Amino acid sequence: MAGSPRRDEPSRDQPRRDQPCPDQPCPGRDPGLQPERTRLAWRRTTLSCTAVAILAGRQVVQHHAPGPVVVVAVALVLLVWIAFMAAAHVRMRAMCDSRPPVLSARTALALVACTCALAALGAAILV
């Protein structure tokens, strides 16, 4: 049974619907894999944001008696992190297209606002 293909397995000639081209490269696919590289750049950026959020969270965990300002600031850092992830996720979904549209300025500004908010909250934690 191991060698013979199962009945419900799609044959080689008929590609499955959800994977339009399993063997052949997609006709519209960029040979330089630009959308994939951009998607990975987004992934790296979300990882950087996560590292900052974890450092902020460490502040509360390590502190013996964190004050209300620190707790609220770290909670806001978590919200900012979620917003960052959501914006990045929407853009990464757009990267599934072989010809993704230009990044919207709203997304870019949202991410910059998130970064500035993290800096401001870092200053609030400091005080």
Interface residues toward other proteins, by CB under 8 A? 30, 32, 34-35, 37-38, 41-42, 44-45, 48-49, 51-52, 55-56, 58-59, 62, 99-100, 102-106, 108-109, 111-112, 115-116, 118-120, 122-123, 125-126
Closer CB to other proteins, 21 or 98, in the complex? 98
CB of 55 to other proteins, least distance (A): 4
Can you tell me the distance from the alpha carbon of 92 to that of 10, in angstroms, rounded to the nearest whole number?
29
Tell me the torsion sign for CA atoms 43, 104, 26, 21.
positive
CB of 58 to other proteins, least distance (A): 6
Can you tell me the distance from the alpha carbon of 23 to that of 13, in angstroms, rounded to the nearest whole number?
10
Closer CB to other proteins, 2 or 102, in the complex? 102
Closer CB to other proteins, 21 or 54, in the complex? 54
CB of 71 to other proteins, least distance (A): 16
- Structural element, H or E, at residue 91: helix 68-94
Closer CB to other proteins, 21 or 109, in the complex? 109
3-class DSSP assignment, residue 86: helix
CB of 92 to other proteins, least distance (A): 11
DSSP-assigned states of every residue in 15-82: --SSSS-SSSPPTT--TT-HHHHHHHHHHHHHHHHHHHHHHHHHHHHH-SS--HHHHHHHHHHHHHHH
